[in-house]
Chain A
């Protein structure tokens, strides 16, 4: 047996040497070769935020020596796939890349993002702890500068709430009571839905409850998806789904859009970017919605989670890391950069100084003048959360496990789904060779 395998093994070994030779050749090319004074530097920038080319124009006119070209991407997932392919191929990656917080550990693990701690200078004080934690991964390294954040917010139909004498729920108990009252008054109406399609949404709810699904201790990862905080969230939603006062269908389907528009879904636990989505899917109900702080587990010590948000990072293939870091710092901390991000790219800047740039409320909620002060409050109370190197595995496990649980409408299946998620995530990490505890 061994003998017959030899020729094949030889061919495969040759193929292997070729692949390692290809991927190993860029080690020196990626090291920093700073431009000489007076020399013009060209940077490419992959992003999917709208109108980013206009935002960058402001930088280009003010900094003739460092020219940034925006290369528009389809979105977070395809951009990551493209970047990982370019990293594997050894060339083709941009200098600067928009990276969702949840993808940063995955990208760092693939050695796609450069540590710019030296180049960027001290920016820590300009960002909330939760955002800073997401770009440092709790280490000394800096894998990007926070760009925008997605503090969760609650949106509800004021007309329905008024008719039933309800107030915006302060606590999750209030939310459950409101959901019951609304569904009892009209069997077709729901205050929300438990979506097995949106793991980022569930992660945000868990973050609010105090969970942090991954953690680092020395050179060991810990996974705490099935921790008491997340269990509390899963049990809460399982109860509401079993009771039938909350819908169990996924979000972002034609069905859900229609339900928002025709007044079947009268509330949405979403994020600061929610109004843009509502404008698209619930256009008929404009003027009837209002935003509020998320319902709380403990009204005395309010907390929040994130759904969405991204940083701006420098890739390991960039030959001008110092200049790229300079651009990133301008984009996310300079008043002009923040203003352009907020008004032209329509994102909610992560910087603590963003309030000056956010003056008028989003078009869909044009009557709610205090929208951005609620958003600022939501962002301020956001708890820290660490993402791991296999977020995608945990997220796809969420899709399957909670899909089954939501379909069954049995409360006991929700904590069980959480256990499945934990098991799948830990197994995958162990299989890849990570040291994992818990």
Chain B
């Protein structure tokens, strides 16, 4: 091996660990899932005993079944409605908190920051269990309180409330993370901009609206994309709450349908087809949005 080829090979050897891990744990499973989505089992006879089950090519029939499943469209629409509640609420609250903390009005800055961030450190399953207890009328201290002051508390897991009940857990858990991202972006703004604005007679609200928010816009876009992806993948919260109520079905969200098909119905082929559809939808939505906002995301320096 001469010097030139060794030089040319150097970058690849540095890239190799990342590439190998990417191929082994991301690319290969995706390819395998795509392969599985084109297969199905075929049973002969009663399907009992050895050799009665074979894997055969299924063409696109898994996709057809997945997309025409009467439960699929409602679960997609449900996640859409869920996203409409979660994303604006979560980002709105996160931005407001970040601005308040940054404005220096809160004396308890560090404490408040930690307190708002803390729920993000609670795993979604644990959070859902905690909130589940708070939602169930008989074990909820909130209910006791409301009944105590003469109000009739609503059944938060009933049909008309359950979407908000699940959304609430996501907002509670996700606000802190987004707040920290936005707050960090706010702290990076040079303070002379504010001093100049203040000398010109701008109020705090005007400074926030005309200086801070436009400057942290790339961070807002980034948190929006992350929240969008998290919304499409909502799973742990409704999955944990499901046994507590009649109103959450096993196909309440698209990912729950994937789980049901793969691990309850033992039909990994249908699950793979739905997974591929969800992956494509996530890809299209997030990249479509990034395309839409153009260069404003991620590269504020340009």
Give me the interface of A with B, judged by CB distance under 8 Å: 12, 15-16, 20, 81, 84, 105-106, 108-111, 115, 137, 139, 141, 196-197, 216, 219-221, 248-250, 252-255, 258-259, 262, 264, 316, 389-390, 392-393, 395-396, 399-400, 403-404, 406-407, 428, 431-435
Contact = CB atoms under 8 A, between A and B. Distances in A.
Given A12-B35, A255-B137, A406 B53 contact: no
Interface string B21-45: 0000000000010010010111111
Contacts of A390: 265
B159 A407 contact: yes
Contacts of B233: none
A137 B266 contact: no
Contact of A392 (B32, B45, B136, B264): B264
Contacts of A433: 41-44, 47
A137 B42 contact: no
A432 B249 contact: no
B133 interface: yes
B155 to A, nearest CB: 10
A255 B138 contact: yes
B86 to A, nearest CB: 23
Q: Which of B139, B245, B246 gathers most chain A CB within 10 Å?
A: B246
A84 B246 contact: no
B48 A109 contact: yes
B51 interface: yes
A316 to B, nearest CB: 7
Contact of B243 (A253, A262, A400): A253
Interface string B247-270: 111110000000010011111000
B46 A219 contact: yes
B50 interface: yes
Interface in B215-269: 243-251, 260, 263-267
Contacts of B250: 396, 399-400
B158 to A, nearest CB: 8
Contacts of B38: 12
Nearest to A84: B266
A108 B260 CA distance: 21
B246 A407 contact: yes
Given A219-B46, A404-B249, A197 B265 contact: no
Given A390-B265, A392-B264, A403 B48 contact: no
A389 B35 CA distance: 25
B52 interface: yes
A205 B249 CA distance: 23
A109 B52 contact: yes
B214 interface: no
Nearest to A262: B138
B246 A106 contact: no
B139 to A, nearest CB: 5
A392 B265 contact: yes
A111 B49 contact: yes
A291 B243 CA distance: 27
Contact of B47 (A141, A252, A389, A392): A389
Contact of B48 (A108, A196, A399): A108
A390 B244 CA distance: 25
Contacts of B263: 81
Given A15-B35, A432-B41, A249 B265 contact: no
A17 to B, nearest CB: 12
A105 B268 CA distance: 19
B35 A197 contact: no
Contacts of A196: 246
Contact of A216 (B46, B251, B264, B265): B46
A401 to B, nearest CB: 9
B65 interface: yes
A359 to B, nearest CB: 37
A105 B138 CA distance: 40
B266 A258 contact: no
Contacts of A219: 45-46
B138 A264 contact: yes
B246 A403 contact: yes
19 contacts: A106-B266, A139-B48, A220-B46, A249-B245, A250-B243, A253-B244, A255-B139, A262-B138, A264-B138, A316-B50, A389-B48, A390-B265, A393-B264, A393-B265, A395-B264, A399-B249, A400-B71, A404-B246, A431-B40
Contacts of B136: 253-255
Nearest to B133: A254
B246 A250 contact: yes
Contact of B246 (A15, A20, A81, A249): A249
A406 B53 CA distance: 37
A254 B140 CA distance: 10
A432 B264 contact: no
A53 B201 CA distance: 80
Contact of A432 (B35, B42, B51): B42
A141 to B, nearest CB: 8
A403 B245 CA distance: 8
A438 to B, nearest CB: 15
A406 B38 CA distance: 37
Given A431-B65, A433-B44, A434-B47, A392 B266 contact: yes
A220 B44 CA distance: 10
A81 B246 CA distance: 26
Contacts of B244: 250, 253-255
B39 to A, nearest CB: 9
A432 B251 contact: no
A392 B265 CA distance: 6
> Looking at B51, B138, B267, which has the most chain A CB atoms within 10 Å of its CB?
B138
A105 B266 CA distance: 13
A241 to B, nearest CB: 11
A197 B243 contact: yes
Contacts of B264: 392-393, 395-396
A221 B53 CA distance: 15
A258 B243 contact: no
A98 to B, nearest CB: 19
A234 to B, nearest CB: 15
Interface in B107-151: 132-133, 136-139
A268 B132 CA distance: 24
A102 to B, nearest CB: 13
Contacts of B159: 407
Contacts of A248: 246
Contact of A258 (B46, B138, B265): B138
